[in-house]
Structure 1
Amino acid sequence: MASTKDWFETVAEAQRRAKKRLPKGVYLALVAGSEAGVTMDDNLAAFAELKVRPHVADLPHTRDLSTTVMGQEISFPVIISPTGVQAVHPDGELAVARAAAGAGTAMGLSAFASKPVEQVAKTIDKLLFQTYWLGSREEILARAERARAAGAKGLIVTLDWVFDSRRDWGSPFIPDKLDLKAMARYAPQVAIKPRYLATWLRSGSLPDLGVPNLGPREATPPTFFGAYGQWMGTPPPTWADLAWLREQWDGPFMIKGITRPDDARRAVDVGASAISVSNHGGNNVDTTPASIRCLPGVVDAVGDQIEVVLDGGIRRGSDVVKALALGARAVMVGRAYLWGMAAGGERGVMNVLEILRQGVSETLLGLGHSSVHELSPEDLLVPAGFALDRKL
């Protein structure tokens, strides 16, 4: 079916609609990559270098897309990646949670989210809470315990970020709070995006730049940049720190941001149950290789000792299949669902997830497999030198 007013056929179409609907500064915040954006671009280009090898007969009439990640049974191998303050729609993380629950998959909720974990946990059962190494050990543990009490089933610790906010093309202006000065600066952008403005006016609220999940439930939330400053001032964790946190959290535990086999092995050593091969969507050190290039070497290094997921560059179902063929258990998506939400709120997020689901099923059909668990490197043509730390 072709795209309509209420349905878009591709993630690329969702992005075009998001760009058309959002104020320039909000949209640029969604597409930003560090410095020259080399890593961000490579996250996409690398998938195009991988070719699939379809069959034409004896293809399966039905396909099983289900799998299990971090103890959560999911209907297809795509998980919502945690992203920070979501000013693209008033419902923010609640819309994402409803869409993920409807799709039968899990959601990662950021500690920098705009909605309290208690609200989101009432909306989706398969909830994973994400935190940065921010504050003291006691503060980090209290944050995790609050999420556990709310109903979070797993903990994600994100480590792939070095506070590089520089963009060779210029960073978008993001205010610390929506005071009169900030609103005056954004007014010309918002004025020419009437649908965006109308959505917020109907909600009776303004974009909230507070982050309610960083402190006690009853406390006044810090501002985004106040929390960001505390994060920048916190010494990076040691492996001993991560081992300590793992001991405190007895449920599923993911370390996000792995790109090297030696770090993957250390994650196994500290007792992590999952790792995410990720470069923070191209927002870590620029010229870091695409996540999919790092995946095979990481998988080789850890075998079946730990679950491996991939985060970065997923735009279509065939990308998901390629990641699974190279050893990932599932993938996490970020920008794609944010564009969907900008384009159509909860319905737009559901639209993106359905695009990916259909794409996984169609690619699996072409490859002649009845289950995502049958995929292997033999289903792909992998260029020489593509996979780091591995010979394919």
Structure 2
Amino acid sequence: MNPWFETVAEAQRRARKRLPKSVYGALIAGSERGQTIEDNQSAFTELGFAPHCAGPIGARDQSTTVLGQRVSMPVLISPTGVQAVHPDGEVAVARAAAARGIAMGLSSFASKPIEAVIAANPATLFQLYWCGDKDQILERMARAKRAGAVGLILTLDWSFSHGRDWGSPVIPETLDLRTMLRFAPQTLARPRWLATYLRSGSIPDLTAPNMAVGGGPAPGFFGAYGEWMQTPAPDWADVAWICAQWDGPVLLKGVMRVDDARRAVDAGVTGISVSNHGGNNLDGTPAAIRALPVLAEAVGDQIEVLLDGGIRRGSDVVKAVALGARAVLIGRAYLWGLAANGQAGVENVLDILRGGIDSALLGLRKTAITDLTPDDIVIPAGFSRALGVPTGEKDSGKRDFTKDGSVAAAGARH
């Protein structure tokens, strides 16, 4: 089989054929019935393009600046937890991102230490969960700063839903002999995945080395999650405290409401990521792209606005940027590439997105990604969702809101 694939959908197909059932299930899972994860993708199909028929057709410039980092295209690696799809995990992803000139987001619950990941890609942002007491949080932040992290991603868009209508994917707590025997039928059914680990001389690592504190050992994957679940949720004062302590770019991930976006500005964040945690938070939350236009209009002149959720094509990236995103973060897409062909598979996915962005810019007759505007997009009436807009603003006539919080004719372009 040719190791190169032409679409993200093909990367997903190869990942499904290569990975044990439970590992693949963890990649595609969404909370409860999967309403939000489905809307994250299908919402992009409701948006169209309004191309020009004449104009410049020279080279297209996809580069931009995000959180102080110059990137070759408006795509960043979204932090995802233990990447057991490949033995090189986050290091392979970081190398691929560096090779393609984009920034890397590293999860607190990653399987590789932050020092190794930053060595592979100096443009790494460390994702922080509000986990443990403030001294522990400060210790993790200090380690990230010493390692050279260029920014912080504070993730608040997750409340840990166990419920999935098709059954939660089975993820073992440890990989002892008993567990290995239990999962042996799944593993033996995927010999190529097993062979990759055997050649590396390792087994899937279910520890979280970046969560270690006080000189103690790294906790197990579920031990780290258990600590997070038992930590009281942060308030806006805590967000401001994080910004003050980090003294650098902070991206707040998980904003879906206008009132929250404005509080984030007041707290001192550098940017927000419009995100519903890839459909793994509260099912029934609208697609991130539906919330983007209103949020970009509300705070886009004060902070950077990014989008995370549902990106599968370069044209999706272009739609998001045209509607106000500085850049997008991708998750499942690069994990499927990693599963399909390691570092080269991640590079393959990034090249697919780059090619799709270029094609869309060419069709729109744009010479730079920064030239995009909402006028390049066909936005159907009722597409956008205006969440958390004060009642006074809804009644002010600035926008035409429907009863369900969607934006009607105002803002729709045909």
TM-score (norm 1): 0.98
Please show how residues 219-368 of structure 1 align to structure 2 within 5 Å.
219-368=216-365
SS of residue in 2 equivalent to 1:309? strand
The 10-residue stretch of structure 1 (179-188 or 228-237) with the greater mean CA deviation from structure 2: 179-188
The 10-residue stretch of structure 1 (174-183 or 230-239) with the greater mean CA deviation from structure 2: 174-183
1:218 Cα deviation from its structure 2 partner: 4.7
2:83 to 72, 86, 103: 86
Contact persistence 1:84–1:110 (CA under 8 A):
yes
Counterpart in the other structure of 1:128: 125
1:60 Cα deviation from its structure 2 partner: 2.2
1:303 Cα deviation from its structure 2 partner: 2.9
Counterpart in the other structure of 2:145: 148
What residue ranges of structure 1 are gaps of 5+ in the alignment?
none
Counterpart in the other structure of 1:18: 15
1:6 to 3, 8, 17: 3
Distance 1:208 1:365 in 2: 44
Measured against aligned partners, the alpha-carbon deviations of 1:229-263 in whole angstroms (never above 9, x if no partner) come to 11000000010011111111111011000000110
Distance 2:40 2:80 in 1: 17
Measured against aligned partners, the alpha-carbon deviations of 1:253-311 in whole angstroms (never above 9, x if no partner) come to 11000000110000000000011000000001001000000101111111310000000
1:219 Cα deviation from its structure 2 partner: 2.9
1:56 Cα deviation from its structure 2 partner: 2.9
Distance 2:214 2:14 in 1: 36
SS of residue in 2 equivalent to 1:246? helix
Q: Is 2:63 aligned against 1:27?
A: no
Counterpart in the other structure of 2:378: 381
What residue ranges of structure 2 are gaps of 5+ in the alignment?
387-406
Distance 2:214 2:333 in 1: 30
1:76 to 73, 76, 90: 73
Contact persistence 2:136–2:213 (CA under 8 A):
no
Contact persistence 1:59–1:366 (CA under 8 A):
no
Distance 1:89 1:346 in 2: 9
Contact persistence 1:325–1:377 (CA under 8 A):
yes
SS of residue in 1 equivalent to 2:217? coil
Distance 2:217 2:59 in 1: 51
What is the number of residues matched between the two proteins?
389
User: What amino acid sits opposite 1:173 in the alignment?
Assistant: V
SS of residue in 2 equivalent to 1:160? coil
Distance 1:48 1:225 in 2: 37
User: What amino acid sits opposite 1:280 in the alignment?
Assistant: H
User: What amino acid sits opposite 1:72 in the alignment?
Assistant: Q
Cα gap change, 1:70 to 1:62, in 2 (>3 Å): same
1:382 Cα deviation from its structure 2 partner: 0.5
Q: Is 2:155 aligned against 1:171?
A: no
Contact persistence 2:300–2:324 (CA under 8 A):
no
SS of residue in 2 equivalent to 1:101? helix
Distance 2:96 2:300 in 1: 33
Distance 1:5 1:59 in 2: 36
Counterpart in the other structure of 2:190: 193
SS of residue in 2 equivalent to 1:122? helix
Contact persistence 1:78–1:331 (CA under 8 A):
yes
Distance 1:185 1:177 in 2: 12
Please show how residues 39-118 of structure 1 align to structure 2 within 5 Å.
39-118=36-115
1:58 Cα deviation from its structure 2 partner: 2.2
User: What amino acid sits opposite 1:228 in the alignment?
Assistant: Y
1:210 Cα deviation from its structure 2 partner: 0.2
Counterpart in the other structure of 2:178: 181
Distance 2:68 2:244 in 1: 18
Contact persistence 1:63–1:364 (CA under 8 A):
yes
User: What amino acid sits opposite 1:285 in the alignment?
Assistant: L
Percent identity reads 63
Distance 1:12 1:338 in 2: 12
Cα gap change, 1:180 to 1:77, in 2 (>3 Å): same
Distance 1:301 1:53 in 2: 24
Aligned-residue RMSD, C-alpha: 1.0
Distance 1:162 1:31 in 2: 18
Contact persistence 1:338–1:349 (CA under 8 A):
yes
Measured against aligned partners, the alpha-carbon deviations of 1:83-130 in whole angstroms (never above 9, x if no partner) come to 000000000000000000000000000000000001111111111000
